Each structure stands twice: as C-alpha cells, then as structure tokens.
Structure 1
C-alpha cells in the first residue's frame, strides 16, 4: 500500500509529520489550508479510519500505526481546544 505523511503546523508553531498507510489523506486535506482544531481532528479521524480499513481489507488486520497517529492528533488537539486556533496542512510526503 502506498503510505504517506501529512506535514502539519500546530497552533503553537510546531510542525509534525502525521503518518497514514494510505493516500486517502489527500481526499480530506489540502496543502496550504488551515483547519479549525475540531475540523482537523474530525477529518483526520475519518481519513485514518478509512486508511486503517484499507489495510484490514488487504492484510486482514487494522493498522495500529494509523490508530497511534490518530491518538497523537487527538491528544495534541485537546491542548488547543480552549482557544480559537487552527492547524495548517503544510505538505504531503509520499
């Protein structure tokens, strides 16, 4: 399966590479776009669930690394919920 990373910039200025086992992330995000914390988290959850299911269909088990990426995103996002802020998608790396 083609895997990729989505490079994002969090509201505090830190950049992070978010792993996906599938290119489906391109259906949910656009490089250069900023997303509210809730929107970014929701889109990431949808995309990573689809990506993990694609792994399950091909290999018979879900992608634990996609689950770990989602857990990291949700943990990071929870720290910004008290302030209006956004996550910017910088680039895709394949």
Structure 2
C-alpha cells in the first residue's frame, strides 16, 4: 500500500509534515491550495479515516499512524482561535 507524507502550513507559519498510509489524501487536498480551518478538518477526518480503513481491509487492523495523525491535526486545530484561518497544503511527498 503506497504511503505518503504531506506538508501543512498552519496559520502561524509553521510547517508540519503529516502522514497518510494511502494516497487518498490527493483526492481531498490539492498541493498549493488553501483550506479554511473547518474545511481542512472535515477533509482530514474523512481522508485519514478512509486511509485507515484501507489498511484494515488489507491487513485486518486499522492504521494507528493515520488515526494518530488525525489526533495531532485536531489537537493543533483546537488551539487556533480564528475559525476563518487558512491552512495551506504546501507539498505532497511520495
């Protein structure tokens, strides 16, 4: 199963490398595109849940790395006070 990493730029300018066990991230985000905080969270939840389920379908267990990545994204998003903040998908790393 091809995994990938993607670089997210948070509203404070900090880059974070994120992980997905599946290329499904490309179906939900575009490289160089900005997303509102709520849209970014919604897309992240759906994409990483699908990625984890793909691992379950293939190996019989969900992907703890994908679920952990989602938890880190949600934790970081929870400290952003402006709901209109924009998150950049800076780059895909495959």
Query: Does the pair score TM above 0.5?
Result: yes
Alpha-carbon distance between aligned partners in 2 of 1:39 and 1:6, rounded to the nearest angstrom: 17
Corresponding position of 1:16 = 16
Structure 1 unaligned runs (5+)?
Answer: none
Q: Which runs of 4+ in 1 moved over 2 A?
A: none
For 1:55-87, what per-residue CA distance to the aligned partner results, in whole angstroms no more than 9, with x for missing partners?
00000000000000000000001111x213110
Q: Report the secondary structure of 1:12's partner residue.
A: coil
Alignment size in residue pairs: 93
1:1-94 → structure 2 map (5 Å cutoff):
1-80=1-80, 82-83=81-82, 84-94=84-94
TM-score by length of 1: 0.96
Alpha-carbon distance between aligned partners in 2 of 1:68 and 1:50, rounded to the nearest angstrom: 14
Alpha-carbon distance between aligned partners in 2 of 1:77 and 1:93, rounded to the nearest angstrom: 22
TM-score by length of 2: 0.96
Q: Report the secondary structure of 1:23's partner residue.
A: coil
Alpha-carbon distance between aligned partners in 1 of 2:18 and 2:5, rounded to the nearest angstrom: 5
Structure 2 unaligned runs (5+)?
Answer: none
